[in-house]
Amino acid sequence: MNIQITERAEAFLRHQIGNKSSPVRLVFDSEGCGCGVNGIPALWILSAPDVNDMTIHSNTVPFVINRIHAVYFEENLYLDSEEGYPSFRLSGDSQLYGQNVRLLDKREDES
């Protein structure tokens, strides 16, 4: 799996991550969305990947995905953002996954 990140999206990600080398997890968030096939893509900043994560090859920021969530996404992904807008646009070779993909900092939730 690969993800190409634009310079604008990279700058926004690095600003949110800060000086730490935290990976970003791409998730298919189905919490509160009904059945398991209904969900939305989201990005979570983590302290570290877990044992079920696999690496997504990226041109910049380290990305991971839970192996179970990988089936919901294409092999090649593209991440972009707009100046001054606090979310991302995630697309693949054949579809748009979302124009309002949120980035959540989950580092505080981990202990």
Coil vs helix vs strand at 74: coil
pLDDT digits (tens, 9 = 90+) for 83-93: 888 899 999 99
Q: Are 33 and 94 in contact (CB under 8 A)?
A: no
Residue 50 pLDDT greater than 50, yes or no: yes
Domain range summary for the chain, segments of one domain joined by +: 2-105
Long-range CB contacts for residues 9-14, cutoff 8 Å, separation at least 24: 9/79, 9/80, 9/81, 9/88, 10/60, 10/61, 12/81, 12/88, 12/103, 13/60, 13/61, 13/103, 14/61
The class (CATH top level) of 2-105 is mainly beta
pLDDT digits (tens, 9 = 90+) for 32-47: 554 555 678 999 999 9
This prediction has a pTM of 0.87
